[in-house]
Amino acid sequence: MLKKNLGLRKGQLDLLAGCPPCQGFSTIGTRNKGNKNDPRNELVFQITRFVEVLMPKTIMMENVPALIKDIRMNKLVKDLETLGYIIDKKVLNTADFGVPQSRRRMILLASRKKGLSIDSQNQNLEDVVTVRNAIGNLEKAEESKDWLHNSLVNYKEKTIKIIKAIPKNGGSRTDLPIELQLNCHKKITGFKDVYGRMNWDRPSLTITGGCTSASKGRFIHPEEDRAITLREAALLQSFPRDYKFYSSSSKQEIATMIGNALPPKFIEYHAKGIVKNIKK
């Protein structure tokens, strides 16, 4: 039915790209172990189902790093090899591909032709792009003509005091005086990046759907006493400066879209290798 609706013959599709749900493999929020019993984990095998029907020329799959060591990945690779695909898979950091963000992702590439690999481009990758490179020249938030850059969170007085007390350019909640530390933080040693400031001269840490909240990660501006704006988050994900989001969407919906996105600059590198392989 899918082939009929798309008007495709078996073997005609250039690329099948997919990202099965990552929550069960992710170490965020699961005490660094993931959830092996999450039923969504089995959706990895939907890749095989689509491949058997469509037999695409190339395949690209991305996910969190933990999937690369999961038994499901071993089975998926064997199934694809049985179908005649040559596989390459690696865990990569987007900061090594011109993205102003340190974000580790697993990439799987597969092709029915030789020559498609993670390193098939053999191009010179860009120097590390920093937070300053990405957002340092923006106009002041709330004074912009860009509504995404005017999207600041209104904090309670205590939260404002906490943010102001975080040292500029890379400080974190561990630098706070005892009277400003939250009770929940006094009881744990982990999650040190919440209420953390970005460092101007390094890539940001992973941008998530909570990217405009100071309490959900290292999302405080390097100098100003506020969390980053939606536009700043998008730029740190390597979206183009003029990229448009629907203004009818809520701020949280846009933050989720930005945080869940695979950085465009990162996947551009792999897309060029895929195009090169298809045109052989």
- Return the closest-CA partner of residue 152 out of 245, 241, 255: 255
pLDDT value at position 188? 60
For the segment 243-255, what is each residue's pLDDT rounded down to a tens digit?
999 888 899 999 9
Determine the Cα–Cα distance for residues 162 and 92; give it in Å rounded to an integer.
34
For the segment 156-193, what is each residue's pLDDT rounded down to a tens digit?
888 899 899 999 999 888 877 666 676 665 566 656 67
**Of the ranges 10-24, 26-40, 45-59, 133-147, which one carries the lowest mean pLDDT score?**
26-40
DSSP state of 104: E
Question: Does residue 27 have a pLDDT over 60?
Answer: no
As a whole number of Å, the CA-based R_g of the chain is: 21
The answer for residues whose C-beta is within 8 angstroms of residue 55's C-beta and 6 or more apart is 10, 11, 13, 83, 112
Question: Does residue 39 have a pLDDT over 60?
Answer: no
Q: For residue 178, which phi and psi values (nearest 5 degrees)? A: -55, -35
Q: For residue 155, which phi and psi values (nearest 5 degrees)? A: -100, 155
Residue 30 banded pLDDT, cuts 50, 70, 90: very low
CB-CB contact of 212 with 228 (8 Å): yes
For the segment 188-243, what is each residue's pLDDT rounded down to a tens digit?
665 667 889 999 999 999 999 999 999 889 999 999 999 999 999 999 999 999 99
- Active-site residue among 19, 22, 184, 211? 22
pLDDT value at position 8? 86
From residue 257, alpha-carbon distances to 138, 185, 228 in Å are 22, 29, 15
Strand residue runs (E) in 31-85 = 58-63
**Residues 4, 7, 13, 17, Cα dihedral to 10°:** -70
Give the chain's domains with CATH numbers: 2-126+262-278 (3.40.50.150), 131-260 (3.90.120.10)
**Of the ranges 27-31, 77-81, 147-151, which one carries the lowest mean pLDDT score?**
27-31
For the segment 119-145, what is each residue's pLDDT rounded down to a tens digit?
755 455 667 899 999 999 999 998 899
Across 51-56, average pLDDT: 93
Going across the sheet that includes 58-63, the strands are: 15-18, 58-63, 104-111, 86-93
Q: What six digits make up the tokens of 82?
A: 């049985």
Confirm whether 22 is a catalytic residue.
yes
pLDDT value at position 29? 47
Q: What angle, 0 to 180 degrees and rounded to 10, lies between the N-to-C axes of helices 71-82 and 46-54?
A: 10
